[in-house]
């Protein structure tokens, strides 16, 4: 990995015209990734981007790596096979909230619980963009769209809660307005052994413009983004005057002056039990309240493909590599003539 040639952003970009709507949040995510790749010390030919269907799923066409644009919702399953077959590859999976939490939710949770060595970037724009504006599984209840003229009836998913509930070993949230934050989270996700899940709040300026403005606008961030830092008390606000307290399994926001710094929750991303991470994420009940960002959880657990390979090695150590002739004679045999 360290012998990778020196590259720049240009080496990681393709000659394909980028086809997202002007002003779409996807551009800043693409730039963040293309700028980050040269720093990761990986080779382009050992990098694969796999996607399903949706605006976000166009991502692989713009990365000068191997790329596979597949069918709606199934990219985690396809990536699972690829990552199991090829431990030498860095497999990234890119998709939107419809792709990963609606039609493909099943594959997402199973890839996460198995801990397959893939890095999943889920662009959450709370809308179906490519099909021109229907509500998505992360849209807020009551959302008026083309398919819900009287407001949507569905309780939305919270992506981070889903990932934590699926026993994911790495769970993080970031947003498209802060390149440095995105890159830091992506770097961590890439380095993680196993399945890494990153939710990215992404603005769809055509069908759901400003959905995250209350949180991600530069001047709102100090009060609305709760920056999670491992080993530190969780606090935010212009002067760090606000903090998070977890009591009886529930998180609440409190003025530090009132509760005292000792009362604040100390963020532990490596905690074996995800309860505190889950409680913390429950603060993000909608997109107009202070929302935790950063790495919620990063724990070690055996990676799936490596465990499968270990079983192969063990089987070969026990009986030697497979011998076809022996296999064909492994049931009772008899001779004629």
Residue 20 found at the interface with ligand SF4 (CB under 6 A) = yes
> Least Å distance between CB 4 and other proteins?
11
Binding mask 35-74 for other proteins (x = CB under 8 A): --------xxxxxx-xx--------xx-xxxxxxxxx--x
Give the whole-angstrom CA distance, residue 214 versus residue 175. Answer: 12
Phi-psi region of 180 (alpha: psi -120 to 50; beta: other; left: phi over 0): alpha
**Joined tokens for residue 261:** 């710094």
Within 89-128, the residues that bind ligand SF4 by CB under 6 A are 125
Nearest CB to other proteins, comparing residues 24 and 63: 63
Taking CB under 8 A as the binding criterion, the range among 34-42, 79-87, 259-267, 276-284 that sits at the site for other proteins is 79-87
Choose from other proteins, ligand SF4, none: what does 205 bind? Cβ within 5-8 Å by kind.
Answer: ligand SF4
- Residue 9 sits at the vertex; the CA angle it makes with 190 and 42, to the nearest 5 degrees, is 35
> Least Å distance between CB 23 and ligand SF4?
7
- CB 189, CB 170: distance < 8 Å: yes
Give the whole-angstrom CA distance, residue 25 versus residue 216. Answer: 12
Choose from other proteins, ligand SF4, none: what does 125 bind? Cβ within 5-8 Å by kind.
Answer: ligand SF4
Within 196-235, the residues that bind ligand SF4 by CB under 6 A are 204-207
**Joined tokens for residue 124:** 């959450």
- Cα distances (angstroms) measured from residue 255 to each of 25, 94, 245, 251, 285: 33, 38, 10, 13, 20
Q: Which of 12, 24, 47, 53 binds ligand SF4 (CB under 6 A)?
A: 24
Choose from ligand SF4, other proteins, none: what does 44 bind? Cβ within 5-8 Å by kind.
Answer: other proteins
**Joined tokens for residue 130:** 């490519």
Q: Which residues contact 131 (CB under 8 A, 6 or more apart)?
A: none
Nearest CB to ligand SF4, comparing residues 20 and 296: 20
Choose from ligand SF4, other proteins, none: what does 301 bind? Cβ within 5-8 Å by kind.
Answer: none
**Joined tokens for residue 175:** 């947003």
> Least Å distance between CB 302 and other proteins?
16
| Rounded-to-10 torsion of CA 147, 148, 153, 158 | 70
Binding mask 112-141 for other proteins (x = CB under 8 A): ------------------------------
> Least Å distance between CB 55 and ligand SF4?
3
- CB 115, CB 195: distance < 8 Å: yes
Residue 232 found at the interface with other proteins (CB under 8 A) = no
Enumerate the β-bridge partners of residue 259: none
DSSP state string for 258-285: HH-GGGSPBP-TT-SSTHHHHHHHTT-S
- Cα distances (angstroms) measured from residue 153 to each of 6, 96, 125, 156, 288: 51, 21, 18, 9, 20
Residues at the contact surface with other proteins, assessed by CB under 8 A: 14, 16, 43-48, 50-51, 60-61, 63-71, 74, 77-86, 88-89, 106-107, 110, 308, 311-312, 314-316, 318-322, 324-325, 327-329, 331-337
Question: Using CB under 6 A as the criterion, which residues of the chain lie in contact with ligand SF4 when the complex forms?
Answer: 20-21, 24, 26, 55, 125, 129, 204-207
């Amino acid at each position: 990995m360290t012998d990778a040639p020196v590259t720049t952003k240009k080496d990681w970009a393709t000659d394909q015209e980028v086809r997202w709507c002007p002003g779409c949040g996807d551009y800043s995510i693409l730039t963040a990734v293309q700028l980050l790749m040269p720093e990761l010390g990986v080779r382009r030919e050992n990098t694969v981007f796999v996607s399903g269907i949706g605006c976000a799923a166009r991502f692989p066409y713009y990365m000068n790596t191997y790329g596979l644009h597949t069918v709606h919702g199934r990219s985690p399953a396809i990536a699972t096979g690829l990552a199991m077959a090829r431990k030498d590859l860095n497999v990234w999976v890119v998709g939107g909230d419809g792709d990963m939490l609606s039609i493909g939710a099943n594959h997402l949770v199973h890839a996460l619980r198995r801990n397959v060595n893939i890095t999943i970037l889920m662009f959450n724009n709370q809308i179906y963009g490519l099909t021109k504006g229907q509500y998505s599984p992360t849209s807020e209840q009551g959302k008026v769209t083309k398919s819900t003229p009287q407001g949507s009836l569905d309780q939305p998913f919270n992506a981070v809660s889903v990932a934590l509930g699926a026993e994911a070993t790495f769970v993080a949230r970031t947003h498209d307005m802060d390149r440095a934050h995105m890159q830091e989270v992506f770097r961590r996700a890439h380095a993680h052994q196993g399945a890494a899940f990153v939710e990215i709040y992404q603005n769809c300026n055509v069908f759901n413009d400003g959905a995250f403005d209350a949180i991600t606008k530069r001047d709102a961030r100090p009060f609305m983004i709760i920056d999670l830092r491992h080993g530190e008390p969780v606090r935010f606000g212009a002067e760090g005057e606000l903090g998070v307290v977890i009591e009886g399994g529930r998180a609440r926001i409190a003025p530090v002056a009132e509760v005292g710094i000792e009362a604040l929750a100390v963020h532990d991303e490596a905690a074996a039990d995800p309860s505190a991470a889950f409680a913390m994420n429950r603060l993000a009940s909608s997109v107009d309240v202070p929302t935790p960002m950063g790495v919620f959880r990063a724990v070690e657990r055996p990676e799936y493909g490596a465990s499968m390979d270990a079983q192969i090695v063990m089987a070969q150590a026990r009986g030697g590599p497979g011998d076809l002739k022996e296999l064909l004679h492994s049931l009772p045999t008899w001779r004629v003539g």
